[in-house]
């Protein structure tokens, strides 16, 4: 029997569990078998075809269910892993074959059939993790973004399975100090080069890397290792392939019928987010991954394309899509109160992370793409001219407390000819490494949560490609190995020192010591909490200073915790080896100061315990 209450929620655009109605579900109705249910309100007739009936639906006509536009059929003796499609006589009388929009698994591309699978049998062991996870506003959040098919590959070029990823990825993330893994979309997609951002199977974990149970085991093991898992979610658009959602029943069931809005700039179809059934479809997809796969959060792709028509601010706000976002976040937060919703948004639209009760969009965090653009632009400039662009690194704190930000150095910055993070640095081979270390010290000591794409920590010169593994053998070169060690140590320092995260979104957590030293291109600031003060100094030129006077907020002893130029990080070893006692000499608006050594392009972190 179909759940009438859930159906009502579906048609009013409030369903989080439409996957419990639609799709292929094992059941016992006078015999073991599967009940297939599909939403195709404008179809004339529908058949279920699969390997269990030799792809001949002549004896598998689905029954239309009342006024809802649902088609349903119980088929006995269907086994797990059997393949199927829906053969639909569409609104125009033509026959088309479609993948199940609510299919829970799919055959390996280029095949497009859905597969029957039971998702209820996995033995989860992560109840303690689920009970303790939180929004982490006052905790370190250090996200490792990766593409599952190219983090590592076998020698023959084949993919790691979900299980093989678990064996190597989890220990690596623990060693490197990451708190969360962010997986680029795992919803089923036909084209490898889309990295999963052009999907058709919104309830189907891609078969490229193994079975649903293997993915569940990967997530379960992450949780047992105290690592959260975030999944990229794409509610803006879907692939145009004929077997998918496009003109599913001969009409624009999922996409806008207006050609001006129906097709995206990526050559895909835009979801019609004014339709209540489409809203329920996407909200149920988001809920599905949190419910059945225990995902800890979603990073929502291309939010600016949801806020504005086609992402174009001059065309105005898309009120239907805006209402969908608010409803999505409000409903998910009610159902999964400790899961994260993160907006990848390039717009200046206000209140992205404000509560929907206060008129905001209801996200927990927003990517600070302005910080990313300004920072990388600054580091690409010749140090001779950086004094003229000093505000690029100070501007972020002028608006920072307007939202709850994640500072991303993501996959978008290391593809399509943009160069890697290391390659964006100005200067010689050695200077690029020196400045990249200072860049990361700036990222990890700036307020906000952190995100880095796989390979950033290796100091790669080759851009990301989905066609190959990361170049792990580059660690055989001492300068890359030292950079990798530095990245690990910085991550662990970030996690250890609560001053770097406790007051990320409160004014008392950050203060400038000197934001205006454009002449020397030196920045100084401090983070603080009840335990300690952490003072940060960033030198953005090749000049060095043996006796630089730095004002500090408190008297007492300051100990160098990290120096990017230490020898173990392939630096010149111009460090501050002994505790520095604050002197009663005014500097930088403070009554006391310390005298420090600053190496070329150095970033330095001092601690004064309270």
Q: Residues 82, 217, 232, 344: which is the catalytic one?
A: 344
Q: How far apart are CA 247 and CA 138, in angstroms?
A: 46
Contact (Cβ atoms closer than 8 angstroms) between residue 459 and residue 422: yes
Q: How many residues does the chain have?
A: 610
User: In angstroms, what is the C-alpha Rg of the chain?
Assistant: 27
> Quick one: CA dihedral 463, 464, 467, 468, positive or negative?
positive
Which is the catalytic residue, given 90, 100, 249, 301? 301
Look up 276 and say whether it is catalytic: no
Phi, psi angles (nearest 5°) of residue 334: -70, -40
Question: What is the DSSP code string of 102-115?
Answer: T-S-BPPTT---EE
Q: Are 248 and 101 in contact (CB under 8 A)?
A: yes
Q: Read out DSSP for 145-162?
A: EE-TTTSSB-TTSPBPPH
According to DSSP, residue 300 is labeled: E
Tell me if 97 sits within 8 A of 196, measured CB to CB: no
Assess whether 301 carries a catalytic annotation: yes
Listed residue (399, 420, 381, 398) closest to 521, CA to CA: 381
- What 3-state DSSP class applies to 383? helix
187 vs 539: CA distance, rounded Å: 44
Angle between helices 319-335 and 276-292 (to 10 degrees): 30
Contact 99, 246 (CB under 8 A): no
351-355 own/partner pairs: CB under 8 Å, 24+ apart: 352/303, 352/403, 353/403, 353/404
Residue 140: partners with Cβ closer than 8 Å, 6 or more residues away: 179, 449, 494, 495, 500, 501
**How many whole angstroms separate alpha carbon 432 and alpha carbon 436?**
6
Which residues are catalytic, by number? Answer: 301, 344
């Amino acid at each position: 029997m179909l759940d009438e209450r859930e159906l009502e929620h579906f048609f009013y655009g409030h369903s989080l569990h439409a996957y419990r109605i639609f799709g292929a579900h094992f059941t016992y109705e006078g015999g073991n078998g599967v009940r297939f249910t599909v939403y195709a309100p404008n179809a004339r007739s529908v058949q279920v075809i699969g390997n269990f009936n030799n792809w001949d639906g002549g004896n598998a006509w689905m029954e239309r269910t009342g006024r809802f536009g649902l088609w349903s059929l119980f088929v006995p003796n269907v086994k797990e892993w059997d393949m199927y499609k829906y053969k639909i006589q569409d609104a125009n009388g033509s026959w088309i074959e479609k993948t199940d929009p609510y299919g829970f698994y799919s055959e390996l591309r280029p095949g497009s059939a859905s597969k029957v699978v039971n998702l209820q049998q996995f033995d989860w062991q992560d109840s303690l993790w689920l009970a303790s996870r939180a929004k982490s506003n006052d905790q370190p959040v250090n996200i490792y973004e990766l593409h599952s098919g190219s983090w590592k590959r076998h020698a023959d070029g084949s993919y790691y399975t979900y299980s093989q990823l678990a064996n190597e990825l989890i220990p690596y993330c623990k060693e490197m100090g990451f708190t969360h893994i962010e997986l680029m979309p795992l919803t089923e997609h036909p084209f490898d080069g889309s990295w999963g951002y052009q999907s058709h199977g919104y309830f189907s974990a891609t078969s490229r890397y193994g079975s649903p149970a293997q993915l569940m085991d990967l997530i379960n093991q992450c949780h047992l290792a105290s690592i959260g898992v975030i999944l990229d979610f794409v509610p803006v658009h879907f692939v145009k392939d004929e077997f998918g959602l496009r003109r599913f029943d001969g009409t624009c069931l999922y996409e806008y019928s207006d050609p001006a809005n129906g097709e995206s700039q990526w050559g895909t179809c835009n979801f019609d987010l004014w339709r209540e059934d489409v809203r329920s479809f996407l909200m149920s997809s988001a809920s599905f991954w949190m419910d059945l796969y225990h995902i800890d959060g979603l990073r929502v792709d291309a939010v600016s394309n949801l806020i504005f028509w086609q992402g174009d601010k001059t065309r105005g706000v898309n009120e239907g899509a805006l209402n969908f976002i608010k409803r999505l976040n409000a409903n998910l937060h009610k159902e999964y109160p400790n899961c994260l919703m993160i907006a990848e948004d390039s717009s200046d639209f206000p209140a992205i992370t404000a509560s929907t009760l206060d008129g905001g969009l209801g996200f927990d965090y927003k990517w600070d793409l302005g910080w990313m653009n300004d920072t990388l632009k600054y580091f690409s400039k010749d140090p001779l001219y950086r004094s003229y662009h000093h505000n690029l690194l100070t501007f972020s704190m002028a608006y920072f407390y307007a939202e709850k930000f994640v500072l991303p150095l993501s996959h978008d910055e290391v593809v399509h000819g943009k160069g890697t993070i290391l390659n964006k640095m100005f200067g010689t081979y050695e200077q690029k490494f020196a400045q990249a270390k200072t860049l990361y010290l700036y990222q990890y000591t700036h307020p906000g949560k952190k995100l880095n794409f796989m390979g950033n920590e290796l100091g790669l010169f080759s851009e990301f490609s989905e066609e190959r593994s990361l170049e792990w053998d580059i660690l055989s070169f001492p300068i890359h190995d030292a950079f990798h060690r530095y990245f690990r140590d910085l991550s662990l320092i970030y996690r250890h020192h609560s001053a770097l995260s406790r007051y990320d979104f409160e004014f008392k957590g950050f203060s400038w010591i000197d934001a205006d030293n454009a002449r020397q291109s030196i920045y100084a600031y401090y983070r603080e909490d009840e335990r300690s003060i952490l003072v940060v100094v960033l030198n953005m030129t090749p000049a060095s200073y043996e006796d630089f006077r730095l004002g500090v907020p408190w008297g007492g002893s300051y100990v160098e915790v990290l120096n990017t130029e230490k020898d173990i990080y392939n630096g010149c070893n111009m460090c501050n080896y002994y505790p520095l006692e604050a002197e009663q000499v005014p500097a930088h608006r403070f009554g006391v100061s310390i005298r420090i050594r600053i190496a070329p392009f150095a970033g330095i972190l001092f601690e004064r315990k309270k």
